[in-house]
Chains A and B, each alone.
Chain A
Amino acid sequence: MISLKSIRNRFSPLLLGACLSCAGPHVAPTTAQEAKPLVGTSKVNQFTFPNGLKLLVVEDHSSPTFAYQTWFRVGSRDEILGKTGLAHLFEHMMFKATTQHPEGEFDRLLEAAGAEGENAFTSRDYTAYVQELPKDKLELIASLEADRMVHLALTETAFKTELEVVQNERRYRTENNPDGTMYQDLFGLAFKTHPYHWPVIGYQEDLNKMALGDAISFYRTYYSPNHATVVVVGDVSPTHVRDVISKFYGQLVATNTPSHAIPAEAAQTAARGEKTKLNIQIDKLLMGYHVPPISSSDMPAIDVFEEILSGGKSSRLYRALVDKGIASGVDTDDIDDKDPTLFIINANLQKGKHAALAQAVIANEIQKLKKELVGDEELQRAKNKITFDFYESLSNNSAKAHFLGKYESLTGDFENGVLEQQHVQSVNAAEVMAVAKKYFPTENRTVVSASPKGRKHK
C-alpha cells in the first residue's frame, strides 16, 4: 500500500492556489445584519465578509454538536456542452490533496474528530459540502474547508482515478437505472438551449474526454469566497463563529465572477414526448411542465397546486390512479431550481396497465383544476400538509442548514424560503386555478414513458 504522502511526492501535484496559511489575522466582517426569525425561537444571524463570503449562523443548544455546510453557487447550469458533468466531477476532486494536507487527510482528520454525515452533493445550481461535528471542532472544520476552497493540489493520477469513480456513479444512477435514464431523457427533451438540458452527472462521452486542465480551470473560476455561503447551525455562538470564519477565510481572495451568459429557454409551443423500452416489468411515466424558478411569486400557488395533485392519499392523483387500480404509486418532485424548470409528475403503473392511460388521467385531473375552483376544505388540507412538511424540513441542525443554504444559493436570501411558506397560507382558490391555466397547457408538456422490452407500445 502506497502511503498518501508518497503519492503526493511522486506525482508533483499542480498547485492551484497561493500557498498561504489559512490561519491569517482576524479581518472584521463588513456587515452583520440583524438576526432574522427562522422557525420557533430559532433566529438566523447573517454576516458578509470583505471578500464576499456569506455566513449564516443559527444557535441551537439542544445537543453539543453543530452542522457545518459550505454552499457554492455553481452547478451543472454553469457548464457548457462538451464539458457536462464537470461541476459534479469537481465535487469529487474537492476531497483530494491540498497544499496543506495530502490526499486522504481531510477525511481522516474529520473522521478522527468524530464527524458525522461528511458528504457533498451537486445540483443544477449549487454544490454543497456538509458535515456535523462535536461542538469543540469548529476551528478544525473551518481551517480544512477554507484550505480546500483555494489550496487544492491535483494530480493527474488522482484525477483519473476519481473520473473512473464518477463513471461508475453514472452507471449506477443512469445507465443501469430506469428512472435515471428517463429523467435524463425528460430534461433532454424539454430543454433545447438552457443547460438544464443535460444531466448533473454529465454525458458519458464528455466524461470520457475530461482532462485535469478542465478541473483546474473550473476550480479557479468558481471556488472562491465570493461564490460561497457557509452555514453553521447548532451549539455555537454567532459572534464566535464569525471570528473563527474570519480567522480562516479572511485572507482568501475573491475572484472575478465570469460573465457566463446562461442561454434562456424559449417557450415551448408544442407537446413533446418519447416512448422508450427498458429492462423493466411495469410501465413508467414521467410528465414535465415548464414552470418558473423557485424565486417566482407564483411559487406559493404552485406549491398548493402540487399538494392538491399529489399530497397524500386523499390527493387527486392518488385517488384517480392508485385507488382506481391504474398505478401503484404517483408523486410530484419539489421545485428546486434557480432558473425556470420543470414541474414533474412520475407514476409507476400497475401490472398490465399502460403509461398512456395514466397520462390521460393526469391530464384530465389537471384540466379539472383549470376549470373548477378548489373547495375550501381541500385548500386548507393542502396548506396543512405544506405546514407540516415545512416544520419537518427544519427538524434538526443539518436540515436547518440545508434549508438555509438552499434558499440562499438559489434566491440570494434564505428569507425567501420562510416567506414562501407564509405566502402559502394566503393562497386562494382563484390563484390555484390561475397557475393551473398559466403553466399547465398541453403544449407546455413533455412526456417520457417507458415500457418493458419485448412488449409493443400502446
Chain B
Amino acid sequence: MKKLMIKTMVLKALTLAAFALAVSPMLARPLQAVEVSFEEDKRLPLVYVNLAVKAGAVTDPEGESGITNFVGEMLLRGTRDKTKKEIDLELDQMGARLEVETREEALILRGAVLSSQLEPFLKLVLEIVTEPSFPEKEIGKLRKEIVSGLLEELGDDSSLEARHFSKFLFRDHPYGNPVLGKIGTIERLDRAKVLAQYENIFHEKNFLIVGEGDAAEKTIQAWGDSIGKLRPSGDRKAAAVVGTPENAPERRLEIVDKPDRTQTQIDVGQIGVRMTDPDYFALYVGNHAFGGGSFSARLMTEIRVKRGWSYGAYSYFRPGLKPRSWIAHLFPAAKDAPAALAETLHLIEQLKKDGITSPEFEFAQRSLVNSAGFMYNTPQKRVANTLLERTTDLPSGFMESYASRISALNREQVNAALKRFLHPEKLAMSVLGTASQLKEALTKASGVKAPDVVVVPYTEE
C-alpha cells in the first residue's frame, strides 16, 4: 500500500453547509435514564446496534487491569438460561455478529444483524446484558485465551510498542494501563472480582444505545428502555475515577529491547488536550500541517518523502474524558533510527519555536474544511461520532462543528497554541529495537543523559 492505514483513531471532523446530507436526521433524545440514538437507513437489510456502558478500562480497580474488558467478554459466555454454546449458535443462526470493544472510557457491545432477525437478536442481547451467569469454567477458558492473546501480541512490534509507550508516557495514570490487561492481572482474576465489576458499572445511567439501519427507531428505544429497567439506576463511574495526567518534568527515553530487529518502532509524545480545550482546534490545524497523515505534512515530507527513512510518519491526538496524548509515530530501519529520532525532535522543537508557515496554514485549513463531509457522510460514521461524543462528554453535535471552528482560525492563533502546548523538554520517547545495536546512538540523538535511559525487555509487562 502506498500509505499505512493509521489504526489509531485520528480525529478528523468538519461540517459545511454544502454537505447537508440527504438522509434522515440522527435522532438523539434522553428517555428516562437510557439514552438512545438511532438513524433509520433502509438501503440494506442490516441493523447495527451498539450498547455502550460509559465506564471503560479506566474503571478497572487497582491490580485488576483488564477486568472491564473481561466482564464484557464474559457476557457472551453464558446467561441464566443459556450456555456459551447456545449463545454462539443463536447468533450465527441469525447471521448476526456481537462483539466486545473496550475503550478507556466505555465498554461497547457491537451488534449487527440481518433486519429479518432483529427481534430475536434484541431479545438475546437483552438477556446477555441483564442475566449473565459468569460460569467458572468459562472464566478459566477466557483467562487462558486472553493470556495467549497477550503473548501473541509480543510478536507484533507496532502493537507492542504502542502498549509500552502508553505506559511510559502516562506512568501511574489509568490511561497507561492496557485495556486488555496484563498477563499477571488476568491470571489473578476470579468470579467474585468479575461479578463485582459487572455490578459496579452495569447501571442504567451508564447505558447508551447508538445504532443505524433497517429498523424503526421506536423499536430500539423500547428495547433500550427495557434493558434500563432491569438494572439499578446507579451513577456515572468513568468521569469520577480519572484524574488529569501530567507530563514528567524532563525528557525521557525508553528502549524496548527486542532481539534481531532490522526495523524500529518509534513513538515521541506528550500529554494531549481535551477536545473541549480552547486551544484544541488551533492545535488540530497545527498538527495537520505537522504530521496529520497528509503526504504534504512536514513530518512525512522530511522523514519519508525526502529521505525514505520510514514507510509511515505521522502525528495525532488521542481523545479522552481527560487530556490523553499527542504522539508522533514512525518506524525507520534500525540503521536510520537515531537520525530519524533526532530529526523528529528537531522538527518538534522547530514547530514550537516558529510555528507553521502561512502556506502550511492555508493548505491545512483548506484541506480540513473541504474534507468536512467525510466526517459524517455515512450512517456508520455518524454512529461512531455519537459514541465518541457521548462517552467522552463532548457537547452534542461537537463532531460536526469543526468546519466553522477551523474556518474562524488564523495562523497566529495556531502558532500561539502550539507554543503553549508543546513541551519538547518534557517529551517521552520510546523506541522498540535491539538495544545492543542502538542504545548509544539513540541516547545521543534523544538528548537524554545515558544513565537516565531506560531499557526494558520486550517481554516485560
Contacts and interface: CB of A to CB of B under 8 A. Distances in A.
B22 A61 contact: yes
Interface in A291-332: 311-315, 318-319, 322-323, 325, 328-329
Contacts of B372: 114
B152 A107 contact: no
A33 B156 CA distance: 48
Contacts of A377: 93
A384 B294 contact: no
Contacts of B112: 388, 392
A392 B151 CA distance: 32
A388 B46 contact: yes
Contact of A171 (B19, B262, B306): B262
A64 B18 contact: yes
A108 B296 contact: yes
Given A40-B44, A348-B152, A107 B296 contact: yes
Contacts of B158: 172
B295 A329 contact: no
B44 A314 contact: no
B23 interface: yes
Contacts of A35: none
Task: Please report whether the interface of chain B is mostly helix, strand, loop or mixed according to DSSP.
Answer: mixed
Nearest to B306: A161
Interface string A385-418: 1011001101110000000000000000000000
A165 B308 contact: yes
Interface string A264-296: 000000000000001111101000000000000
B258 A279 contact: yes
A63 B261 contact: no
A114 B370 contact: yes
Contacts of A165: 304, 308, 310-311
Contacts of B94: 384
Interface in B253-269: 258-263
A282 B93 contact: no
Interface in B361-393: 363, 366-367, 369-374, 377-378, 380
B124 to A, nearest CB: 13
Q: Most chain-B Cβ atoms within 10 A of its Cβ — which of A166, A175, A282, A325? A: A282
Dominant SS at the A interface?
mixed
A395 B41 CA distance: 11
A171 B263 contact: yes
A391 B1 CA distance: 26
B58 to A, nearest CB: 26
Contact of A384 (B5, B41, B95, B259): B95
B88 interface: yes
A239 interface: no
A334 interface: no
Interface residues of B, number: 78
B295 A385 contact: no
Contact of B92 (A1, A63, A116, A313): A313
B46 A391 contact: yes
B365 to A, nearest CB: 10
Interface in A121-156: 121-122, 132, 134
B427 to A, nearest CB: 23
B25 to A, nearest CB: 13
A351 B151 contact: yes
Interface in A329-364: 329, 348-351
A113 interface: yes
A350 B371 contact: no
B417 interface: no
A387 B380 contact: no
B155 A280 contact: yes
B332 A168 contact: yes
Contacts of A396: 378, 380
A282 B152 contact: yes
A434 B142 CA distance: 36
Contacts of B333: 167-168, 171
Contacts of B294: 107, 111
B377 A177 contact: no
8 contacts: A61-B22, A107-B296, A161-B308, A163-B308, A314-B85, A322-B145, A323-B141, A396-B378
Closest 7 pairs (CB-CB, A-B)? A114-B370, A164-B308, A384-B95, A328-B148, A116-B374, A114-B371, A313-B88
Interface of B: 1-5, 18-23, 41, 43-46, 84-85, 88-89, 91-97, 112-114, 141, 144-149, 151-152, 154-158, 258-263, 294-296, 301, 304-311, 331-333, 363, 366-367, 369-374, 377-378, 380, 459
Given A164-B309, A323-B141, 4 more contacts: A132-B374, A169-B311, A395-B44, A395-B378
